[in-house]
Amino acid sequence: MKRIKIIAGVLFTLIVLNFSPAGAEAHNSADLYVGSTGQEVKELQASLQALGYFHADTTGYYGPITKNAVERFQADFNITSTGYTGPLTRNMMDQIEMIAHVVHGEARGESYEGQVAVAAVILNRIESSAFPNTTYEVVFQRNAFTAVNDGQYWLSPSTTAFRAVKDAFFGWDPSYGATYYYNPSGVTDTWIFSRDVIRQIGNHHFAR
């Protein structure tokens, strides 16, 4: 079962959710749409390409191919398929990119299953009352992720990381519901050993 949920991480998204039907996009000046050009379009195309929706060169021109890719992304993530990047689309894309940065920074040397499991842990935290309830707050919670502390978060995520996040959003949870993971060889705070380990994937232990 898909775990798609629009998590309000920015004020304008909250406003849209208050005044629009569920899943509907509002149109405003920040949108990208057919005819738009520039670096923002190129970055959008690159993200859609990494997620498997855009199958062409990233030109920076928003044409029919980009519109079709956006529509398919929207349909998969339960957003009304408008073909332009309204607030809900941008918010979901931002969430995916943030989690992809963590996955790449923390688990790029792990198997694909291990990378999906790391993404799933972040989603599990968002859904848990024991953690903050937005992607941004979970990712940037103090000392939550080594990659954020040591700067590896800012590396460019691979296509594999993006697709791992997509699979986690679509319901694959190899961590079996874990809200923690760690590499025993790199532990500096032994508190983590008090958590119940659910399973091990590669170098990571997944726990709750």
Q: Is the dihedral of CA 18, 19, 25, 28 positive or negative?
A: negative
Q: Residue 29: its pLDDT value, please? A: 80
For the chain, helix (H) and strand (E) counts, in that order, are: 8, 3
161-185 residue pLDDT tens: 999 999 999 999 999 999 999 999 9
* Predicted confidence (pLDDT) at residue 13 exceeds the cutoff of 50: no
Same-domain check for residues 76 and 98:
no
Q: Which of 35-44, 64-73, 188-197 shows the lowest mean pLDDT across its residues?
A: 188-197
CA distance 165 to 118: 9
Q: Residue 200 belongs to what domain range?
A: 92-207
Q: How confident is the model at residue 17 (pLDDT cuts 50, 70, 90)?
A: very low
5, part of any domain: no
CATH assignment at residue 117: 1.10.10.2520
119-153 residue pLDDT tens: 999 999 999 999 999 999 999 999 999 999 999 99
- Cβ-contact 164, 112 below 8 angstroms: yes
Same-domain check for residues 79 and 149:
no
Global pTM value? 0.89
- Cβ-contact 87, 13 below 8 angstroms: yes
Cα within 13 Å of Cα(22), Cβ side:
6
Same-domain check for residues 122 and 180:
yes
Same-domain check for residues 170 and 108:
yes
Same-domain check for residues 79 and 131:
no
- Which of 70, 89, 108 terminates a domain? The answer is 89
Same-domain check for residues 26 and 80:
yes
Q: How many structural domains is the chain composed of?
A: 2
CATH assignment at residue 33: 1.10.101.10
**Cβ within 8 Å of residue 38, ≥6 positions away:** 60
Same-domain check for residues 113 and 178:
yes
Same-domain check for residues 58 and 133:
no
Q: How confident is the model at residue 25 (pLDDT cuts 50, 70, 90)?
A: confident
- Cβ-contact 177, 195 below 8 angstroms: no
